[in-house]
Amino acid sequence: MNIKQRAARLGLIGLAVAMAAPAFAQTYSGNNVYKVTRSNGSEAVILANRSPGERISVTFPGAVSSRRVTANPCGLIVLRSTSTVPISNLLSVDGAAIDQTSLPTQLLPRCVDGTLEEARSNDFKTGAGEVVIVKSPNTVYEASFSGGRSRNVTANACGFASITSTSTYDLTRPELDAFEVMGSPYQISTLPAAGLEPVCRTGSLYVPAAW
């Protein structure tokens, strides 16, 4: 046996000492959903005992979504309900909170050649249920809405999926602490902490020996 072969064999022995792979190893202390610490120090949530390749919808009820909105040539941003987001979910525009209950109800004037037929200097709502924000003409802003968001994760070849932080879903944010998987509610802060995460390599499952 040459030096490289011996080193490789010792490496496999080291892995076996650190990790084990019993058939039921996906669960942690009998839990199918638990949190782990990834190698980069960030936290992730494991959804165990799923079918390999299964797509799983995860909903965060407290998540805030945003979209870009543009003021017309007269400086009005007209916001309406969409098929997925009701106007009642509007939280803010350009970082300024919008209290719809305090907005006056007014007619929406026509914008003709960059001029309103009837001047509007403050935000208002219309009888048709629109919310109108007065800003700078032809300028793009960000509007934020409550109502939650959903994302999909896919189970790996070993049958478990990981929910990790992304730029859109930062799991350290308080509003993302609560989540739902197929209607079942969970909270990241109260999930069992398993320590190191399990590893799936070429379809073989390895879990920390400490489990």
Burial class (CB in 10 A: 0-12, 13-18, 19+), 206: middle
pLDDT over 70 at 21, yes or no:
no
Q: Any idea which of 6-10, 17-21, 42-46, 66-70 has the lowest mean pLDDT?
A: 6-10
Q: Are 157 and 200 in contact (CB under 8 A)?
A: yes
pLDDT of residue 59: 96
pLDDT confidence of 163, banded at 50, 70, 90?
Answer: very high
Q: What is the pLDDT of residues 165-187, one digit of tens each?
A: 998 899 999 999 999 998 899 99
User: For tokens 């300028």, what's the residue?
Assistant: 139
Alpha-carbon gap, residue 106 to 89, rounded angstroms: 20
pLDDT confidence of 112, banded at 50, 70, 90?
Answer: very high
Alpha-carbon gap, residue 185 to 148, rounded angstroms: 14
pLDDT of residue 26: 80
Both tokens assigned to 15 = 């892995």
Alpha-carbon gap, residue 128 to 106, rounded angstroms: 10
pLDDT confidence of 25, banded at 50, 70, 90?
Answer: low
Section 76-86 average pLDDT: 94
The radius of gyration computed from the CA coordinates of the chain, to the nearest angstrom, equals 26
Could you give the percent of the chain with pLDDT greater than 70? 88
pLDDT confidence of 2, banded at 50, 70, 90?
Answer: very low
pTM assigned to the model: 0.71
Both tokens assigned to 122 = 């403050």
Q: What is the pLDDT of residues 55-69, one digit of tens each?
A: 999 999 999 999 999
Give the residue with greater pLDDT, 121 vs 26: 121
Closest CA to 85 of 175, 150, 173, 133: 150
Section 144-158 average pLDDT: 95
Alpha-carbon gap, residue 147 to 41, rounded angstroms: 30
pLDDT of residue 203: 87
Alpha-carbon gap, residue 142 to 64, rounded angstroms: 12
